[in-house]
Structure 1
Amino acid sequence: MRGALILSVAIFLSGALQTLALSPYDYWVASIGSLVLFLALTKALDPNSYLSPKSAFYHGWLIGFGLFASGASWVYVSINTYGNAPPALAGFLTLFFVAALGLFHGFMFWLYSKLKSKYLGFNVLLFATLWVGNDLVRSVFLTGFPWLFIGDSQLDGPLSGWLPLIGSYGTTLILSITSGALVALSIDRQHRTALLVTLLLIALWTPGYLLKDKNWTVSTGKLQEVALIQLNIPQELKWKSTQRPKTIDLLRKMTEAHLDKDVIFWPETAVPLFYTSARPLLSQFGRKAEAQNATIVTGIPYSGWDSETKSTVIHNSVLAIGNGEGIYHKQKLVPFGEYVPMQDVLRGLIEFFDLPMSNFRKGEENQSMLSVNGFSVSPFICYEVVYPDFVANRSIGADYLLTISNDAWFGESIGPLQHLQLARLRALENGRYMVRATNNGVTAIINTKGQIEEQIPQFSQGTLEGQVRIYEGETPFSRVGSMPIQILCIFTVFIGVSLRWRSNSNKAQSL
């Protein structure tokens, strides 16, 4: 009993260890240490060690639970502070959230136990592909939660050269294979195995280092002078009517001081009014900007009439005014923050299910980019930038990328810094500059290598001035996204099913 408890705690901690590999800690080697520890504790790769499906599910859930409990518990801040849920209730809802996310890992490891073979090498590949397959499924299930991938740790790691080719999913695969191969050495200690593992690691890790300075996209030599405004409006004041005139006056002062720039970027829902009510104000700003040959890009809630449902719909949007045009409605909505699943049941139960602006409608697919002083900008609102394939698809043809956000919902937790890391990853994966305008930080200009060129610290008010360089062409990941990784996952599972079927057939014939 005591041994089982110690094992459970150790597996939970192996999951928590993965969080240390990501921002703001950035100990990337912890991503390998986590999986090595997990595989060693469960003896999952050893062909001679039986792994029951029940134990596999439980142990898989435990490592997932440890990962999300340590890495995604920042949801507590928005539930408790801004949803006004008592600490006990907020803690329970947070615990339920992270425990439910752990189920993805539980099902992944359960499937592994079903397909595990007598071949050590195949077991390494099977585990690695199922691990990254779990991330792929988690990215699309319901609205998706593509967060806390171990491959994200390689943004500043030795495998960063792989990111423009195979993305974060691909580096997750490499780290998983590496971890499995190291554990395999302790199972099969023959010189031949050691040689194969050494050659494998050289083949996987050397290109990642050598390709770090490879430029997959090409600078056009053109650039835009930009200003990014960070308002730092406390979330509890943002939507109060008494704060609205102060916010608008602040926007006016900070913007008029930078109309000599090509583009001035405001953060998500910077204007605390619906578009229909804000049109006179926006027209005024637009005329001033156009007179200076400048563009203002702002986040704003947009309301419109839906002829099909014969009702008013609300979008979380971004639009360009002045010497620019276009409007984009957010497609990837945050559950409970921007819409409430099963709202007929949940609304009214607690204040968290009635947060301000939590009834948005998702925008249509294939929306046009923003035109900004003659350049095409692909916008992403807050949560959207965390989706690797979504960003890759919308980066094609863009001169640069934009993400606007309001991370004030998550206070001083690690969530906003993880969010920044993901924006940097998308810039590197797609070989484009990324402009990141936020309400309370971190506002930044990110180059094509995912490095921050300029930034404003969190929880401060100010304007970031800088240059955005225009690049053309596409990275391999921009063109094909995660499709090769998906194919590998499906193919490996197919091989696993075939091997299991053959094994069962041989057993039946021997009886």
Structure 2
Amino acid sequence: MTALAEFAMLSQGWRRALLMILAGAIAALAMPPLFFLPALFVGVSVLVWALDGAEREKGVFRRLIGPAFWIGFNFGLGYFAVSIHWVGAAFFVDGGWLLAAMPVAVLGLAAILSLFWAFGVSLAHFLWSDSWLRIFALAGFLALAEFARGHLFTGFPFNLFGYALTANPEMMQAASLVGIYGLSFAAIVVAATPALVWPAAERALVSRLLPLFVAVGLITLQLAWGHYRLGDITVEENPDMRVRMVQPVVAQDIKWQTFAREEIVNRLIDLSTMHTNPEDEGLDDVTHLIWPEAALPFFLSDEPQYIAQIARALPDHITLLTGAPREAYGSDGSIVPGQRPFNSILAFNSDGEVISSYDKTHLVPFGEYLPFQDFFERFGLSQFVHGSEGWAPGDARRLMNLPGTPAFLPLICYEILYSGRLGAPVADAQFILVLTNDAWFDYSIGPAQHFHHARLRAVEEGLSMIRVANSGISAIVDPLGRVTVQLREREIGAVKGSPSLPIGGTLFTQYRHMPFFALIVLGLVLGLLGVALQKRRQAKHL
């Protein structure tokens, strides 16, 4: 490790750039679903050593966009190129010339996200010192960059650093205290500790290894507290609600084809009503039937015969919750001309009537709407998710209050990723419902990542989550992040279960991101203290 540390500190130019890209790529192996935590220790330590050897430019601006900036940028480029490479799977759905654009799109997205880390690392270098406290400056600014990445320009909070510390339910429990951004701060501090051990200095071995022992101790404490919390909190299922979740696994390239509509509806109904085993009572013991995002890939007004077919299959006591596109209607009940449709969750009663709806508010750029649409359409570019002119965002988050149903917060797809931004109504929700369609990313690690990120929201909010996906993973997650029932990726079928009752407010629900910002302040104060201590030592030697 000493040789690696010295190489990182002394490297410059293209050697440093390649080293940082490699270090970032290695660090990405700690993200779900791999969770190879030692990789984060290696990657972040190399980042610290490179900053130890980074030149200090004169002038604030030149230093801001100086060597430390490019160290952070290249580290991020390697990290994001590996950790979100699965985004490229969407380009295979339509194929053709899009396949040629895939590498450019993936690397372009990685480069854009790397800018957040570039500025975070560059700012941290302003508080750099030879003290062990420098790793807190890095944690403070880099975690703040992660927060910015999750909020600015609609936000893209995939694979935040903190997810490396959530490999199992025991480790997940820390999210109930400080949220995923607080865990990101902790992950950077812990992963940077090997950089304080090497290169070997004229210190006793025990004192050199002390930071690493502390890091291992903190992770052990996290596991122990999580184990205690899992055993201490009693989770009870809601006895008045039993759902049947259907996972139809409809291929994305045929989903929106007109010829496939009949087959899709028949598959949904067959999976909903079939008996999976001799003890299965079908829909007789079910209160709610749930289908995934865009399960009905057509406007209801276009295919009334299918709605009648669905209504005939529903027993009187059943409420159907399904994803479907929804046209905009005016006060007179007519379709508003020129208004873009919504990506919605619709609630049907057994008569086939829509009794409630939720329209997705947080749309995916380039996926569900096209920024600068007029410009991009000149080159033949359009959004990936089909809609006549893209989708329109819904007005606001709100609870669904259906007859005989506990109030719940409906969300669609990646709306569940935004820690602390699920909307004010989440405080009054009894559970969270997420409908999604990850078929765009089949045969990649994307669906597993998406599901794991969603589980953390259940822990943060202390609420059960029902997640129904087109091709997986569909599951019920309890308020402690444990999976109670599940359909695996690309498993065609249906499964039953009940959401758990809320366990009460967590520290995160009471204070949201305040503990995280307190950690940021702590990191910056300790970074400043490290600079002050270095200056004091230098003054003594003069």
Query: Are the structure 2 counterparts of residues 183 and 497 from structure 1 closer, same or farther at C-alpha, using a change threshold of 3 Å?
Result: closer
2:386 to 353, 356, 378: 356
Whether 1:20 and 2:29 are equivalent positions in the alignment is yes
**1:174 has 2:186 as partner:** yes
Match of 2:298 in 1: 273
Q: 1:100 to 1:133 in 2, by over 3 A?
A: same
Q: Indicate the residue corresponding to 1:87 in structure 2.
A: 99
Rounded Cα–Cα distance in structure 2 between residues aligned with 1:22 and 1:317 = 31
* 1:240 Cα deviation from its structure 2 partner: 0.8
Q: 1:17 to 1:400 in 2, by over 3 A?
A: same
Listed as ranges, the matches of 1:29-428 within 5 Å are 29-43=38-52, 50=56, 53=64, 54-82=66-94, 84-113=96-125, 115-118=126-129, 120-157=131-168, 159-186=171-198, 190=203, 197=211, 201=215, 204-213=218-227, 214=229, 219=235, 222-223=238-239, 224-257=241-274, 258-260=282-284, 261-277=286-302, 281-282=306-307, 285=310, 289=314, 291=316, 293-305=317-329, 311-322=338-349, 325-353=355-383, 356-357=386-387, 359-371=390-402, 373-391=404-422, 393-428=424-459
Aligned-pair distance for 1:119? 6.5
More strand by share: 1
Tell me the distance in 2 between the aligned counterparts of 1:60 and 1:24.
24
Q: Could you report, residue by residue, the CA deviation over 1:17-49 in whole angstroms, capped at 9, with x for unpaired residues? A: 2321122212133223321222123326x9xx7
| TM-score, reference length from structure 2 | 0.82
Code of the aligned partner of 2:481? G
Give 3-state SS (helix, strand or coil) of 1:120's partner.
coil
Partner Cα distance (1:356, 1:38) in 2: 42
Instruction: State the distance in 1 between where 2:159 and 2:173 align.
Output: 20
Counterpart CA distance in 2 for 1:160 and 1:182 is 24
How far apart are residue 352 of structure 1 and its match?
A: 4.8
Instruction: Check conservation: 1:85, 1:351, Cα contact below 8 A.
Output: no
Would you say the 8 A contact 2:246–2:468 is kept in 1?
A: yes
Moved more, 331-340 or 464-473: 464-473
What SS does the aligned partner of 2:196 have?
Answer: helix
Number of equivalences: 499
TM-score scaled by structure 1? Answer: 0.87
Percent identity, aligned pairs only? 25
- What residue ranges of structure 2 are gaps of 5+ in the alignment? 1-9, 58-62, 275-281
After superposition, the Cα gap between the structure-2 partners of 1:321 and 1:27, relative to the gap in structure 1 and judged at 3 Å, is same
Tell me if structure 2 keeps the 8 A contact 1:31–1:150. Answer: no
**Distance of aligned partners of 1:452 and 1:165 in 2 relative to their CA distance in 1, 3 Å threshold:** same
Instruction: Name the CA shift for 1:241/1:280 in 2 (closer, same or farther; >3 Å).
Output: closer
Q: What is the distance in 1 between the residues matched to 2:424 and 2:128?
A: 37
CA contact (8 A) 1:174 1:204 kept: no
The offset of 1:210, in angstroms, is 2.7
1:146-194 deviation per Cα after TM superposition (whole angstroms, max 9, x unaligned): 0111211222256433111111111111111123344234477656965
- Ranges of 4+ aligned residues in structure 1 off by more than 6 Å: 494-504
Alignment CA distance shift 1:278-1:389 (3 Å): farther
Q: CA RMSD in A?
A: 3.4
Unmatched 5+ stretches in structure 1: none
The match for 1:478 is: 509
What is the CA–CA distance in structure 1 between the aligned matches of 2:504 and 2:30, rounded to whole Å?
31
In 2, Cα distance between the equivalents of 1:489 and 1:453? 36
Compared with structure 1, are the counterparts of its residues 59 and 370 closer, same or farther at alpha carbon in structure 2 (3 Å cutoff)? farther
User: 2:530 & 2:219 partners in 1: Cα distance?
Assistant: 29
The 1:204/1:395 distance shift into structure 2, 3 A limit, reads: farther
